[in-house]
Amino acid sequence: MKAILTQQQVELTVKRLARQIWENHLHLENTVLIGLQPRGIYLSDRIVDELKTLMPAEKIPYGKLDITFYRDDIRKELHIANKTDILFSIENKNVILVDDVLWTGRTIRASLDALLDFGRPAKVELCVLIDRRFSRELPIQSDYTGRSIDTFASQKVKVYWKEKDEKDEVILM
């Protein structure tokens, strides 16, 4: 096991990602944030909390998306669905998808399919805590990246969130 991000580094990374989003989407005009269930929401919740220090909370359109039934591996094993909570249209909006780890790109492909149920966005960007750069199966890349790492297919990246795992840490196993 190797530590990729410590608790302090996770905190700093979240602040940096929120600031980058803020800089590129000043006042979040025509922009919405969508956290991907189940583990991307821990990052998106924190980014939204950080954005609330920069602007009024009511100006931050934020939703959570479950992609369980859009996945291409749903046939292989039983998945338990999470809750989708998007109370607004994404029609002609700039959408920022937020997830913890970008690996093969298949989760993001599924989320793009799922998004279409809520309208046709003007643009979609991706924000991730960890980008496993050389493991992509689909041509997908992040626009906002906490840390890029190189891994073997046999390795796992485990993200621990205080809200669920009682600590903040990212490790390579």
Three-state secondary structure call for residue 32: strand
Q: What angle do CA 17, 161, 133 make, to 5 degrees?
A: 55
Q: Is the pLDDT of residue 82 over 80?
A: no
Integer CA distances (angstroms), 80 to 8, 17, 37, 159, in order: 32, 30, 11, 20
pLDDT, tens digit (0-9, with 9 covering 90-100), for 18-60? 999 999 998 898 999 999 998 999 999 999 999 999 998 888 9
Cα–Cα distances (Å) from 166 to 36, 160, 161, in that order, read: 20, 8, 7
Check residue 49 and give its pLDDT: 97
Amino acid 161: pLDDT = 97
* Residue 23, pLDDT score: 95
The tens digit of pLDDT for each residue in 111-166 reads 999 999 999 999 999 999 999 998 899 999 999 999 999 998 899 999 999 999 99
For position 66, what pLDDT does the model report? 93
- Whole-number pLDDT of residue 80: 62
- Asked if pLDDT for residue 92 goes beyond 60, the answer is yes
Strands 123-132, 157-160: pairing is unpaired
User: What pLDDT, on the 0 to 100 scale, is given for residue 134?
Assistant: 87
Single-letter code of the amino acid located at 82: N
Band of pLDDT at residue 93, cut at 50, 70 and 90: very high
Query: Strand 157-160 to strand 169-172: parallel, antiparallel, or no bridges (unpaired)?
Result: antiparallel
| CATH assignment of the domain containing 36 | 3.40.50.2020
Has residue 90 got a pLDDT over 90? yes
Is 10 a residue whose pLDDT tops 60?
yes
Residue pair 87/63 in contact by the 8 Å Cβ criterion: yes
Report the domain count for the chain.
Answer: 1
Q: Which residues span the domain enclosing 57?
A: 2-172
Paired strand residues for 126: 97
- At 74, the pLDDT band (50, 70, 90 cuts) reads low
